[in-house]
């Protein structure tokens, strides 16, 4: 993959004949919960606070309360750090879908742009959550690779050996996945598929089902 260092991405940077179909950023609250695992961190410190209070009961309620406050304070500090990292990651990340490629802007301190032409994309999938946000990972063709830690958090979790670039925690994920799927099918010369009924789409969002995008880029 070609990583292009640019100050910003503008329509003028897109080659002639390409159309920008969608652009957006991760939702930072969703990113905190699903990339930085804020829910698990919060649950851990709640449990640890309860345990620390219980462990100090024999020493008196003052000592017990102090232990609880100290542990809870550590939890609040940890969540504040996660919130700050999530906010910065969301603010410095940009995803762009054009009629011929995906472009990722990643990196807080040293941002780079990663160009993923559709000809290098084997397939894509989407997972839509109940709040409307979702994740859209793409599988690259054999011989094409982007480093996991270069992409993170814009990488499918735990796929270290075969990293998959991923649009993480984007809003209106069902719409974004449909846009990307249609672009991939058009690029591959496949017929468009009918749009799902709104009721079925909402039901899929509530169940956080995995939605397969049928499009495959032509080689």
What ranges do the domains of the chain cover?
2-26+93-213, 32-89
Helix 198-207 with 173-188: angle, nearest 10 deg:
110
Query: What's the pLDDT score for residue 193?
Result: 60
pLDDT in tens, 149-184: 999 999 999 898 889 999 999 999 999 999 999 999
What burial class does residue 200 get, using C-beta atoms within 10 Å of its C-beta: 0-12 exposed, 13-18 middle, 19+ buried? Answer: exposed
Distance, in Å, from the CA atom of 121 to the CA atom of 113, rounded to the nearest integer, reads 17
For the segment 185-204, the average pLDDT, to the nearest whole number, is 57
pLDDT in tens, 39-67: 999 999 999 999 998 888 877 888 888 98
Query: What's the pLDDT score for residue 132?
Result: 92
How many DSSP H helices and E strands does the chain contain?
A: 6, 9
For the segment 103-114, the average pLDDT, to the nearest whole number, is 88
pTM score: 0.79
Averaged confidence pLDDT in the chain = 82
CATH class of 2-26+93-213: mainly beta
């Amino acid at each position: 993959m070609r990583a292009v260092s640019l100050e910003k991405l503008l329509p003028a940077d897109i080659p002639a004949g390409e159309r920008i179909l969608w652009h957006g950023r991760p939702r930072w609250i969703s990113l905190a919960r699903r990339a930085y695992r804020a829910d698990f961190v919060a649950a851990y410190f709640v449990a640890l606070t309860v345990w620390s209070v219980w462990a100090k009961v024999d020493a008196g309620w003052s000592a017990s309360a102090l232990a609880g406050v100290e542990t809870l304070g550590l939890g609040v500090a940890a969540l504040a750090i996660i919130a700050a990292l999530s906010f910065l990651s969301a603010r410095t990340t940009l995803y762009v879908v054009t009629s011929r490629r995906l472009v990722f802007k990643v990196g807080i301190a040293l941002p780079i742009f990663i160009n993923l032409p559709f000809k290098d994309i084997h397939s894509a999938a989407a997972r839509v959550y109940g709040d409307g946000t979702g994740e859209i990972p793409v599988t690259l063709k054999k011989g094409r690779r982007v480093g996991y830690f270069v992409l993170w958090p814009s990488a499918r979790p735990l796929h270290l050996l075969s990293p998959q670039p991923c649009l993480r925690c984007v809003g209106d994920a069902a719409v974004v996945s449909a846009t990307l799927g249609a672009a991939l099918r058009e690029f591959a010369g496949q017929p468009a598929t009918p749009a799902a009924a709104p009721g079925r789409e909402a039901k899929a969002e509530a169940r956080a089902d995995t939605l397969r995008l049928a499009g495959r880029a032509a080689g």
